[in-house]
Chain A
Amino acid sequence: MNEESVLKKIAIIGASGFVGTHFYELIHGSGRDEAIPVIHSSGSAWRLIRGGAPLVSANLLSKEEIAKAIKGCTHVVNCSRGDDQVMLKGLENLLEVCADSKIQGLVHLSSVMVYGDPPSANSITEEGTSQPHLSEYGMLKFKQDEIVAKAAKNVPSVILCPPNITGPYSPYLTGLVNAIQNEEFALMGDGSAPCVVVDVDNLCHAIYQALDYCSSSPQRLFITDDELSTWSMIIEPLMELAGVSELNSITEAELRVLRDNLNRPVKSSFFQSLKHLVSSDVRKAIRKDPMLAKIDIMARKSVSLVGYRVEDKLRSSIAGHPPVPKLPQDTPLNVGLTAQQLRGVRHTCEKAKNTIGYVPTRSFKQSMDAFSRWYRRHNGLDSDYWPLLKMLWNV
């Protein structure tokens, strides 16, 4: 923490999320500045409330509620997530209220995804090419960045772009453990592809630092760990947590094909639609309505007039051949998650270090060890009862 900065009263929007809660704990634990945890739903606020956090509830779609929540605050940190309306209209509302409330600075949490998935090759630095159209989430975050930049003349801001976030409680790492356990993840090649991550403690340190550097021309800053980590470095400790000793592997070429297939848009087809329409499930549903049932019977009678040979031919030309039994398949790969190994670009945090004095104090190993400790305790891996608990996963 910057010892010279004046005391701040910081409203954390989206405080019940992974980053929001960690940031609250950090600020509250330091005992210097005041943090106001602003939440939307009480469902996920348990981690905050166990320490007695004074929760404030606000819906970003209500300017009145926002105004009440951030009253008296000097700074705002926006970690909120939600549907498109909350992310866009809610953010506009927040910025409008911040302007009216003379907020001194706003730190907005964006994402490296604004540079695309996969990211542009030149996005090693923030000046690289944005390709938000390559993912829905990236596009949403890009639009948010534009909203923040537009409002910055009234609300000085900084835009932080973290990659996947590690550390205790990390949903990203938890998802990877689950995927490994369910055999939905495969390691590409020897796992030497770069995996850009940031520890949650490092990210929160950056958020705090950024509060002092909000400006009317907001900068976009990559906040990453300042280390070269690879996929094998991430996956190996997670395999132990997942209780898996061997991992599926995949070549880069195979993974590219799978990813391209995943991203290929579904083309509309007359025959495909007709096939859906004549399927027994659809017709069964249609027949529940008396009028549509009559139409269905009429259609059925008309078709039967042409004779069963022609009818069969017509049916097979639309519906295709009947299915034949298949051998049990392996668990399908989570292509979206596995294909992250194709991202390849290492976003550097040099600009953040130089402009806001970001110092990633937690090493990659510390971050993974912290996650491991959290995961083991929360899932009971070190408990005497683990043999019993483990069976709940398998049965």
Chain B
Amino acid sequence: MNKFKLGIIGTGLISAGSHLPAALGLPDIEVNALVDPVRDRSTSLARKYGISPQIVQDVREVLGMLDGVIIATPNSTHCEIALACIEAGVHVLIEKPLANTVDEGNAIMENATRKGVVVATGFCTRFRSNVLLLKELLDDEYFGRIQRFAHQFGTAGGWAPLSAYNLSKQEAGGGVLVVSGSHFLDRMLYFWGFPVSASLTHDGFNGPEANCTAHFQFAGFQGIARYSKTTNLRTGLNVETDRGFIVLGDSDESQIKFIPQHRSGVCDTISLSGKKKQQADVFQLQIMDFVAACRNRTLPRVDVQQGVNSLRLVEMLYANSSVTLENWYE
């Protein structure tokens, strides 16, 4: 089988640290192009990994020689770049979020359908073995019926993309909800589908919010998701059921824990047995899934429709949001 010819668009932190090394570790893929308006970034990245791809500043120069691309550029540029690739018949794996708006997401979906091109959304945490296992167990009501849930993720600072696009609401499509929260929003949709209602409180009084709390109502249960870029929070998901609490940390390696009701001090750890429990690199699994979908013309694990659903939820949250101002001294 011919090697899959991959291009990486955007050679900032996420490509340098995750997408490129993941792709280079896969035997049936060759990275043929690095694309970035700042040429030096691509050059130094190629040198760092000892590869000799085409280095260009505009993807249009190399589209004819590629089977697929990973788009890892500022969020506001995803749509335009994706549409150019789709028009040329090149498959796209778009780093999360799919785009900045539902309209942009729909444009990507419609054009991809018309051209028969695969579009995958880069929600890499969907490739965690603990997430897949939790979904199975939740579906089976293995831990009982869900009553409510809480998820939180918070770091004081951190993640500083080279372009600093994350600090611009226009470029990122939102604040901490999009930058830190969108991974869980995607997982939440995967676990339970679209909520009946959702609302948001945040502190972005004149710019992207640094702290927010989202409230969700599902049929029969409710929950919250809290995100912070100013406070280190103990991260993870806690789902309360009629039998106890399911706790899962927010990392690839976290194990599912179950604390039965009225049994404080008891904690069961649920994990996969044998080879299944080995967690491969999620970025590598994501690329493998994308390439398989391109070759077999099947849907990737997180397809374009799921990417659009995630955008719908973000828009719904911002539409039902209120700002909480700070006055700590009172």
Contacts and interface: CB of A to CB of B under 8 A. Distances in A.
Q: Do A and B bind each other?
A: yes
B144 interface: no
A71 to B, nearest CB: 20
A392 B167 contact: no
B176 interface: yes
Given A201-B329, A373-B328, A388-B148, A45 B238 contact: no
A378 B227 CA distance: 9
5 contacts: A43-B158, A50-B206, A51-B207, A378-B230, A392-B235
A347 B60 CA distance: 65
Pairs A-B, 5 closest by C-beta atoms: A44-B157, A43-B160, A52-B206, A46-B229, A42-B164
Interface string B149-193: 110101011111100101100000001100000000000000000
A385 B224 contact: yes
Nearest to B258: A395
A395 B207 contact: no
B238 A41 contact: no
Nearest to A395: B247
Given A380-B152, A388-B149, A393-B234, A49 B329 contact: no
B206 A392 contact: no
Contact of B167 (A46, A174, A370): A46
Contacts of B224: 383, 385
Interface in B131-161: 148-150, 152, 154, 156-161
B247 A45 contact: no
B204 interface: yes
B267 interface: yes
B245 interface: yes
A388 B150 contact: yes
B67 interface: no
The winner among A50, A371, A385 for most chain B CB atoms within 10 A is A50
Interface of A: 16, 41-47, 49-53, 55, 57, 167-169, 171, 174, 201, 362, 366, 369-371, 373-374, 378-380, 383, 385, 388-389, 391-393, 395
A80 to B, nearest CB: 15
Nearest to A44: B157
Given A49-B210, A51-B207, A41 B176 contact: no
B164 A57 contact: yes
Contacts of A389: 150, 152, 226, 234, 238
Interface in B186-203: 203
Contacts of A373: 328, 330
B149 A379 contact: no
B328 A395 contact: no
A385 B150 contact: yes
A42 B175 contact: no
B207 A49 contact: yes
A169 B203 CA distance: 14
Contacts of A369: 329-330
A393 B228 CA distance: 16
Interface string B230-242: 1111111010100
Interface of B: 148-150, 152, 154, 156-161, 164, 166-167, 175-176, 203-211, 213, 223-224, 226, 228-236, 238, 240, 245, 247, 249, 257, 259, 267, 326, 328-330
B149 A47 contact: no
A58 B95 CA distance: 29
B203 A50 contact: yes
Given A47-B210, A50-B175, A378 B228 contact: yes
Given A42-B160, A168-B328, A392 B247 contact: yes
Contact of B166 (A42, A174, A374): A42
A350 B208 CA distance: 42
A42 B207 contact: no
The winner among B150, B161, B249, B257 for most chain A CB atoms within 10 A is B150
Given A388-B150, A388-B245, 8 more contacts: A44-B160, A46-B229, A47-B229, A168-B328, A369-B330, A380-B213, A391-B238, A392-B249
A391 B167 contact: no
Contact of B156 (A44, A51, A379): A44
A51 to B, nearest CB: 5
A44 B166 CA distance: 11
A395 B231 CA distance: 19
A379 B233 contact: yes
Given A373-B330, A388-B245, A391-B247, A42 B231 contact: no
A47 B240 contact: no
A393 B234 CA distance: 6
A49 B205 CA distance: 10
A98 B267 CA distance: 60
Contacts of B150: 385, 388-389
Contacts of B235: 392
Nearest to B257: A395
Contacts of A171: 156
Contact of A392 (B148, B152, B326): B152
Contacts of B164: 42, 57
B234 A50 contact: no
A49 B171 CA distance: 13
Contacts of B152: 380, 389, 392
A8 to B, nearest CB: 22
B158 A50 contact: no
Contacts of B231: 378-379
Contacts of A43: 157-160
Nearest to A25: B326
A363 B226 CA distance: 32
A278 to B, nearest CB: 33
Contacts of A201: 329
A208 B180 CA distance: 35
Contacts of B154: 378
